């Protein structure tokens, strides 16, 4: 049995997503807890899926498969998901865990949640199911941006997701950004609900056209479909980070 001491806040957040860092974590909080790591046997639907070393490869970082704290055994969600065939996604801004399919929370610039997006893999791309409220009626530019935003400062999301180096707009004869999408049409009551497929992108981790870890942005005005860099659609008024 191996014992280590960690900051409780850092440990709880990190282990939730299967990513404990072994250096410097004791300074992450003023309160500390002592935990122990024991190698577990994992028997899933009649099949022995126990690892050789009791470690879990969490996106390239080796972490313990379990920890024991005050008599309770904890297992990383990503490990549990892998064992039962379900993907697990983490989004740091909203501190959200999605199981099975990515769930995106949409926020305005004040940090108030005004909607959500559910993502599922489709044969030709990624299906978006969006629901939002408290928007101004009319058409609004809607794009995927290259980075997640931080602190509800939507400018930190960088430009459009554009791995192929294309120009902006579906009406552009030279091809459009992968992050270019149709305008959202908000009703008179400030709500919008839409369901469509973004062609050419994927939810597969590590792929050049993967949108995991990117962000959605809703703009103040309509996207004209051709003007670089964002179709003259105005300020970014709503954002949502896509988990990964």
Contact 175, 164 (CB under 8 A): yes
Please indicate whether residue 180 is annotated as part of the active site.
yes
Tell me how far apart the alpha carbons of residues 201 and 101 are, in angstroms, rounded to a whole number: 15
Please indicate whether residue 127 is annotated as part of the active site.
no
Please indicate whether residue 78 is annotated as part of the active site.
no
Residues in the chain: 244
In the set 10, 140, 145, 176, the catalytic residue is 145
In the set 140, 176, 180, 223, the catalytic residue is 180
Please indicate whether residue 174 is annotated as part of the active site.
no
| Element holding 78 (H helix, E strand) | helix 77-84
In the set 10, 78, 143, 176, the catalytic residue is 143
In the set 10, 140, 219, 223, the catalytic residue is 219
In the set 177, 189, 195, 224, the catalytic residue is 177
In the set 140, 160, 176, 223, the catalytic residue is 160
In the set 10, 78, 168, 176, the catalytic residue is 168
Cα–Cα distance list, 234 to 141, 229, 240 (Å): 8, 11, 17
Which DSSP letter does residue 134 get?
S
Please indicate whether residue 219 is annotated as part of the active site.
yes
Please indicate whether residue 140 is annotated as part of the active site.
no
Q: What is the Cβ-side half-sphere exposure of residue 220, based on CA atoms within 13 angstroms?
A: 7
Please indicate whether residue 145 is annotated as part of the active site.
yes
Cα–Cα distance list, 231 to 52, 168, 172, 224, 225 (Å): 54, 7, 11, 5, 6
Please indicate whether residue 176 is annotated as part of the active site.
no
- 3-state percent breakdown (helix, strand, coil) of the chain, nearest 5: 10, 40, 50
The pair of structure tokens assigned to 19 is 């990513």
Active-site residue set: 143, 145, 160, 168, 177, 180, 219, 236
């Amino acid at each position: 049995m191996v014992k280590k001491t960690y900051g409780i806040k850092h440990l709880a957040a990190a282990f939730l997503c299967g990513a404990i860092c072994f250096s410097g974590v004791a300074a992450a909080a003023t309160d500390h807890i002592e935990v122990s790591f024991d190698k577990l046997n994992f028997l899933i639907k009649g099949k022995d899926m126990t690892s050789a070393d009791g470690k879990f490869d969490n996106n390239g970082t080796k972490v313990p498969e379990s920890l024991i704290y005050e008599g309770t055994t904890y297992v990383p969600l990503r490990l549990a998901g892998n064992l039962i065939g379900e993907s697990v996604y983490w989004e740091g801004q909203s501190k959200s865990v999605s199981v099975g399919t990515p769930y995106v929370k949409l926020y305005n610039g004040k940090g108030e949640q005004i909607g959500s997006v559910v993502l599922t893999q489709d044969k030709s791309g990624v299906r978006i199911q969006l629901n939002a409220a408290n928007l101004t009626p009319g058409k609004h530019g809607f794009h995927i941006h290259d980075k997640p935003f931080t602190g509800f400062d939507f400018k930190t999301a960088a430009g459009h997701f554009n791995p192929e180096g294309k120009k902006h707009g579906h009406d552009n004869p030279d091809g459009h950004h992968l992050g270019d999408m149709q305008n959202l049409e908000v009703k008179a009551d400030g709500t919008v609900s839409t369901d469509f497929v973004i062609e050419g992108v994927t939810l597969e981790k590590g792929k050049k056209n993967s949108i995991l870890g990117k962000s959605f942005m809703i703009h103040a005005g309509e996207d004209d479909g051709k003007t670089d860099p964002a179709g003259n659609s105005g300020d970014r008024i709503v954002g949502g980070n896509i988990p990964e």
